[in-house]
């Protein structure tokens, strides 16, 4: 599960890991070695990647959440999710660094490798059991996120085709069989919401879905390092679109539309947690970032402004309209049907779905593929099938249908809560609890120095090789890292249970 990652050469120096032998293959095979990227992602690319993962598709639902729940509960839940997820990310990175022989991040450890290493060797149960359990939850979490993003992107591409050419096409598989033509360019309903016989939500394979598959799926075969250029484009588009819509919101904003406490609080916490599912990206990014790129600074500098933007988008969007849909951008498009802004707003909506949500799909492909390959669980081809091809084989069946969307919402909440919050905090607690003797002496000294340095929690070490950013997940003023991790884990668990309960009984 751990690959010695020489700078620019993945096949060299695959030596024995100092961790005790637990019967699990720890290195990729020669066939898989060149399937990973080199540690070349710089600071700008890292921040763009983090912002894209912090934002996610959940941001478009925030205005409605603020309008229904009032500003107090969503503001509190977003603030909590921001802090909890950011600490989960830094804890994941420090857990990687605390592994024997990995204080310079020379060994490649993916998410499931970290969980199985600590929870298996020093926790409860066997390493193999934890490895397979973490693979199930991690891949399930990413698959849920992937399917949702694929569907939104495909629906938008169908709308683009309708807008440009006046019609789009699909093949209906069930309950009827045959080709369908959609000529309704209305933004109020999705294409192919019913078939020629009036059947609602038929199973269809649409032209937009095929176009999305052909253009987006190949990006999943690239490495994370190679995908950074697309993440830079995605981040630039996102920032531009957000400022455009924030400006439009201010033109119709009425504070009377937003109350302190609303009458529908059930989804506030769940959506807030869903908006911060970026701990899944940390191990792969750490493996392929430049060694001198600060981990703490990148995570916090990306998450904080993204959180401010989310809050502004939610509050101003809630004040801008009387009734909002789940996708606030669609609401703006529906209200801007005429005038000079009409086509600009519609284009912005299209670009958000394609360049922001759509460009997030290859990242999910890559993370799944990396985890399956790095631990030796799958060959390169098998990992590509489950990580890239499989989501596209099944997502088209969920193009229509509210029942399946609700299932995806509930399942993604459960998998996201475990994968992005509870497991990273638990792993870090076990690493600190059992790891005093594991610390390389150099890392102990560097962490002690970092606690006293001007840059809290992070320091660069120069040992004659390459400067490497050290990680301190919990600043000294927050107390002992173990005590803080356990307290945060307990509070987060309570919040997640309450959120799931609210949604079940709503």
Query: What would the pLDDT profile of 126-142 be if each residue is shown by its tens digit?
Result: 677 888 889 999 998 88
Q: What is the pLDDT of residue 435?
A: 61
Residue 106 has pLDDT above 90, yes or no: no
The 10 Å Cβ neighbour count of residue 381 is 10
Query: What would the pLDDT profile of 438-467 be if each residue is shown by its tens digit?
Result: 444 444 444 444 443 333 444 444 444 455
Query: What would the pLDDT profile of 236-275 be if each residue is shown by its tens digit?
Result: 999 999 898 898 888 888 898 888 887 777 677 777 877 8
Please report which confidence band the pLDDT of residue 340 belongs to, taking 50, 70 and 90 as the band edges.
Answer: low
Give the lowest-confidence range in 78-82, 338-342, 390-394, 403-407: 403-407
Helices 295-320 and 328-335: angle between axes, nearest 10 degrees: 40
Q: Cα–Cα distance between 166 and 164 in angstroms, integer?
A: 6
Give the lowest-confidence range in 50-54, 163-167, 195-199, 205-209: 195-199
Q: Which one is predicted more confidently, 200 or 102?
A: 102
Q: Cα–Cα distance between 427 and 130 in angstroms, integer?
A: 11
Query: What would the pLDDT profile of 357-395 be if each residue is shown by its tens digit?
Result: 899 999 999 999 999 998 788 888 999 999 999 999 998
For range 203-215, the mean pLDDT: 92
Residue 324 has pLDDT above 80, yes or no: no
For range 298-325, the mean pLDDT: 90
Q: What is the pLDDT of residue 20?
A: 40
Local structure of 194: helix, strand or coil: strand
Q: Which two tokens stand for residue 63?
A: 């205005």
227 neighbors 427 (Cβ within 8 angstroms): no
Instruction: Tell how far CA 342 is from the center of its chain.
Output: 31
Chain length of the chain: 506
Residue-by-residue DSSP string for 412-455: HHHHHHIIIIIHHHHHHHHHHHH-TTTS-HHHHHHHHHHHHSSS
Please report which confidence band the pLDDT of residue 506 belongs to, taking 50, 70 and 90 as the band edges.
Answer: low
Q: Where are the alpha helices (DSSP H) in 295-440?
A: 295-320, 328-335, 342-351, 361-374, 380-384, 390-395, 402-417, 423-434
Provide the total of helices (H) and of strands (E) in the chain, helices listed first.
Answer: 21, 7
Residue 27 has pLDDT above 70, yes or no: no
Backbone angles phi, psi at 154, to 5 degrees: -65, -40
Please report which confidence band the pLDDT of residue 496 belongs to, taking 50, 70 and 90 as the band edges.
Answer: confident
Q: What is the pLDDT of residue 48?
A: 95
Q: What is the pLDDT of residue 104?
A: 82
Query: What would the pLDDT profile of 44-62 be if each residue is shown by its tens digit?
Result: 999 999 999 888 777 888 8
Q: Give residues with Cβ within 8 angstroms of 173, minimum separation 6.
A: 202, 203, 204, 205
Residue 461 forms beta bridges with which residues? Answer: 468
For range 466-487, the mean pLDDT: 83
Q: Which one is predicted more confidently, 199 or 90?
A: 90
Q: Which one is predicted more confidently, 341 or 85?
A: 85
Residue 6 forms beta bridges with which residues? Answer: 9
Please report which confidence band the pLDDT of residue 32 belongs to, taking 50, 70 and 90 as the band edges.
Answer: low
Q: Average per-residue pLDDT in the chain? A: 80
DSSP state of 15: P
Q: What is the pLDDT of residue 121?
A: 66
Q: Cα–Cα distance between 492 and 505 in angstroms, integer?
A: 20
Q: What is the pLDDT of residue 337?
A: 59
Domain ranges of the chain: 40-446+469-505
Q: Give residues with Cβ within 8 angstroms of 256, minimum separation 6.
A: none
DSSP state of 16: P
CB-hemisphere CA count at 13 Å for 310? Answer: 31
For range 138-152, the mean pLDDT: 87
Query: What would the pLDDT profile of 70-101 be if each residue is shown by its tens digit?
Result: 899 899 999 999 999 999 999 999 999 888 87
Please report which confidence band the pLDDT of residue 23 belongs to, taking 50, 70 and 90 as the band edges.
Answer: very low
- Global confidence as pTM: 0.84
**Multiple choice CATH, 40-446+469-505, 1.20.1600.10, 1.10.4160.10, 3.30.565.10, 3.40.50.2300:** 1.10.4160.10
Q: What is the pLDDT of residue 9?
A: 35
Q: What is the pLDDT of residue 322?
A: 83
Q: What is the pLDDT of residue 98?
A: 86
The 10 Å Cβ neighbour count of residue 498 is 12
């Amino acid at each position: 599960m751990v690959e010695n990652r020489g700078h620019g050469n993945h096949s060299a120096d695959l030596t024995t890991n100092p961790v005790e032998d637990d019967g699990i293959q720890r290195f990729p095979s020669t066939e898989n070695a060149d399937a990973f990227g080199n540690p070349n992602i710089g600071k700008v690319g890292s921040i763009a990647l983090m912002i894209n993962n912090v934002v996610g598709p959940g941001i478009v639902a925030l205005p409605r959440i603020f309008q229904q729940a009032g500003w107090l509960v969503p503001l509190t839940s977003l603030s909590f999710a921001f802090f909890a997820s950011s600490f989960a990310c830094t804890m994941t990175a420090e857990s990687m660094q605390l592994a024997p022989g990995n204080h310079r991040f020379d060994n490649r450890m993916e998410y499931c490798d970290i969980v199985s290493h600590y929870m298996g060797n020093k926790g409860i149960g066997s390493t193999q059991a934890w490895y397979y359990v973490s693979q199930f939850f991690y891949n399930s979490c990413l698959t849920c996120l992937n399917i949702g993003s694929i569907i939104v992107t495909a629906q938008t591409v169908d709308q683009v085709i309708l807008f440009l050419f006046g019609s789009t096409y699909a093949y209906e598989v069930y309950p009827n069989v045959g080709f369908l033509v959609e000529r309704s360019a209305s933004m109020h309903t999705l294409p192919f919401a019913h078939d020629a016989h009036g059947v609602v939500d038929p199973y269809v394979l649409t032209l937009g879905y095929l176009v999305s598959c052909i253009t987006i799926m190949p990006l999943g075969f690239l490495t994370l390092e190679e995908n950074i250029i697309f993440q830079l484009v995605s981040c630039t588009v996102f920032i531009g679109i957000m400022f455009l819509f924030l400006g439009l919101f201010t033109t119709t904003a009425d504070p009377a539309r937003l109350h302190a406490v609303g009458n529908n609080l059930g989804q506030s916490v769940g959506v807030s947690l869903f908006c911060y599912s970026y701990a899944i990206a940390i191990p792969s990014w750490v493996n392929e970032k430049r060694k001198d790129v600060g981990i703490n600074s990148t995570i916090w500098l990306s998450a904080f402004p993204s959180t401010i933007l989310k809050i502004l988008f939610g509050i101003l969007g809630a004040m801008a309209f009387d009734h909002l849909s789940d996708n606030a951008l669609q609401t703006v498009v529906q209200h801007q049907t005429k005038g000079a802004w009409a086509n600009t707003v519609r284009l912005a909506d299209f670009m958000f779905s394609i360049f922001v949500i759509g460009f997030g799909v290859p990242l999910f492909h890559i993370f799944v593929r990396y985890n399956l390959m790095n631990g030796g669980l799958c060959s390169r081809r098998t990992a590509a099938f489950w990580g890239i091809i499989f989501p596209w084989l099944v997502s088209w069946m969920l193009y229509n249908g509210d029942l399946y969307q609700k299932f995806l919402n509930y399942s993604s909440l459960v998998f996201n809560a475990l994968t992005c919050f509870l497991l990273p905090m638990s792993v870090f607690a076990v690493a600190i609890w059992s790891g005093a003797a594991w610390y390389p002496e150099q890392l102990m000294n560097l962490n002690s120095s970092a606690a006293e340095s001007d840059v809290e929690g992070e320091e660069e070490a120069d040992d004659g090789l390459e400067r490497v950013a050290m990680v301190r997940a919990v600043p000294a003023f927050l107390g002992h890292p173990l005590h803080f991790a356990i307290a945060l884990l307990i509070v987060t668990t309570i919040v997640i249970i309450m959120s799931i309960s609210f949604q079940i009984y709503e």
